[in-house]
Chains A and B, each alone.
Chain A
């Protein structure tokens, strides 16, 4: 230790005598605050318009599916199809929410304040990611729960309700997979860019530009190329995992994934691990500069 260069004078502020909360509590506080800000809670009206518009679109779709099912008994969109059907909306949602969560802090340079607390860089990154993932699960999973409520009242017999509950539960877990893949990509891209506007465009660009690659692979002559095509886009990648999990019969179809189901699952897990690792590495670097 070198000799002190200055003195901190006691100018008479009241001391804090209470208990100092630790890392876990900081994490929880940051998570809660982030989750609230995704929906614009605690912020002005303008910040609420977009997230609640998305919530209402998902809710309306859920209610329409519910109504059709109650009236005609026909399952228009199954639980596991719902996140896929509303996938474009999910891209828009993460593109707006992720920069809101991470780019603002980078832009206004408040990160040193966070890291002067017991919070570690990885904690910050994971709290933000967890908030976005939970928000997606709440909105899209909420839509699935709406459909389930309608179905539970229209099917007869306790076992049927239990079957329905099982399907809905799997559907929500599948939504969570979507949420983790979309969320980790979006937060990673957004954490690299300070300006919210640019970050939002970059997130959408990432999702949109990879879609035609799938189309290009479909026109290659080889059968294997068709079955591997869906690996190249986040949306179709998770869709492929869904095909493997929920519709093993469709594997013989033209757009199927063939025998590569486990590969799709492995690539999905690898993608998530890669994004999270890069995200944590990014904040390690930010915290040192």
Chain B
């Protein structure tokens, strides 16, 4: 584990801040328990819990907090200069930080997704959901890490993207589904679990190809942006 990755992990989880990652997964499991013990068939409750709560809310929000935290926090308070002034290639800074973000996001999403999947149908669905949520974590984290290098206010842009694009448009307008991370993750989870509880709206090859394109594209963008990063003073 490189030093950059080690520092980033400690910065993310070292203080009480990591407690922030707990309420959303706990709530998701808790909500799944209610219909489970009321005897409602999983056909009915899997959709609101897994898709509306998991893929639309938990995954992007956790990714946003973690993804903008690994680089954005340091840019915000100016301590990024300490790392930038070391004789390290810029990609060696971006890649470990991104990997830490993906790891933390994927871990905190995988646990509730697996438990809810097991509650709904069985371990097969649970494993499928882990695959899907990990793909989602990779995509969202890459996008948000890149975003924190593109803009000084990454969270504002990220929230608008999550709420308007992923939350509203990709569920209402069918055309934007082809460009929606949530739909890729859902489709891949559907394919991996072979369950009839999930239904992807884009075809599997499209989801895989677009996932790779988005990840590589935003990673390249992030490295390029950090290579030409200029330290500016406090704005607002």
Contacts and interface: CB of A to CB of B under 8 A. Distances in A.
B156 A200 contact: yes
B58 A209 contact: yes
B48 to A, nearest CB: 4
Given A209-B58, A220-B34, 11 more contacts: A46-B236, A88-B167, A197-B76, A198-B20, A201-B64, A204-B61, A205-B57, A209-B28, A212-B49, A216-B45, A221-B38
The 7 closest A-B pairs by CB, nearest first: A215-B48, A212-B52, A197-B155, A212-B53, A208-B57, A219-B44, A205-B61
Interface string B123-167: 000000000000000000000000000001111101110111001
A46 B164 CA distance: 21
B68 interface: yes
A216 B236 contact: no
B155 A201 contact: yes
Interface string A201-241: 11011001101110111011100000000000000000000
B69 interface: yes
A159 interface: no
Nearest to B54: A212
B93 to A, nearest CB: 20
Given A43-B236, A201-B155, A215-B48, A220 B61 contact: no
A196 interface: yes
A201 B160 contact: no
Contacts of B235: 44, 46
Given A209-B53, A212-B31, A216-B31, A195 B73 contact: yes
Contacts of A195: 73, 76
Interface string B66-95: 001100110010000000000000000000
Nearest to A197: B155
Contacts of A50: 156
Nearest to A204: B159
Contacts of A216: 31, 34-35, 45, 48-49
A197 B154 contact: yes
A204 B163 contact: yes
A208 B51 CA distance: 13
A212 B56 CA distance: 10
Contacts of B48: 212, 215-216, 219
Interface residues of B, number: 43
Contacts of A205: 23-24, 57, 61
B163 A88 contact: yes
A252 B35 CA distance: 24
A47 B34 CA distance: 43
A231 to B, nearest CB: 14
Nearest to A200: B155
A197 B152 contact: no
A267 interface: no
Contacts of A96: 156, 159
A95 B31 contact: no
B10 interface: no
A47 B52 CA distance: 32
B61 A201 contact: yes
B34 A198 contact: no
B17 A198 contact: yes
29 contacts: A44-B236, A46-B236, A88-B163, A91-B163, A92-B159, A92-B163, A197-B69, A197-B73, A197-B155, A198-B65, A198-B69, A198-B155, A201-B68, A204-B61, A204-B162, A205-B24, A208-B56, A208-B57, A208-B163, A209-B24, A209-B53, A209-B61, A211-B57, A212-B48, A212-B52, A216-B31, A216-B45, A217-B34, A219-B44
B168 interface: yes
Contacts of A201: 61, 64-65, 68, 155, 158-159
A96 to B, nearest CB: 6
With most chain A CB atoms within 10 A of its CB, the pick from B44, B48, B69 is B48
B1 interface: no
Contacts of B61: 201, 204-205, 208-209
